Amino acid sequence: QRIGKAGDYFTSVSVGNLFGRILAHQFLQFRAKLGHPAEFAVFEFG
């Protein structure tokens, strides 16, 4: 297995869900500052 804690390398997804939870919290704050629009899109380019 090349990916994961026992593999050659691991990513934040391999470590746990904390990073995603922090991002989700930040996106909710952004949406609130925009006045809770009905549509709110997040684009990830990486």
Residue 19 identity = F
Q: What is the pLDDT of residue 29?
A: 97
* Tokens read off for 26: 């930040």
Q: Name residues whose C-beta falls within 8 Å of residue 12's C-beta, 6 or more positions apart in sequence.
A: 19, 20
Q: In whole angstroms, give the CA distance from residue 40 to residue 46.
A: 19
Q: pLDDT digit of tens for each residue in the chain (46 aa)?
A: 666 666 666 666 666 788 889 889 999 999 999 999 999 998 988 6
Q: What is the pLDDT of residue 24?
A: 92
